Amino acid sequence: MTVARYTVSERGQMALPASARRRWGLMEGGQVEVLDLGSTVIIAPAGPGGFRDMLRTAIDEAGGYDALVAKVIEDEPDLA
């Protein structure tokens, strides 16, 4: 895993390194998804394999939505 630091411009822009654009297949106009976790922001390519696919896979691996909800209720009854 590589971690890098970038500067955000006055307009809120930053440049994505060419190596990451090539690895992700992002050309001009390519889209990314931004996941705001409160104290952290994660950027990933949009589309197949993006956050929705990752979330769907995690739910399926947890036994499906109903099983996941039951586990959350078991662990955190105040969230029911």
Q: What is the pLDDT of residue 1?
A: 65
What's the pLDDT tens digit per position in 56-76?
888 899 899 898 888 888 888
The beta strands (E) that lie in 10-70 are given as: 32-36, 41-45
What the block records as the tokens of 78 is: 């105040």
CA distance 24 to 46: 10
In the DSSP assignment, the letter for residue 18 is H
- Min mean pLDDT across 17-21, 48-52, 62-66 is at 48-52
DSSP 47: S
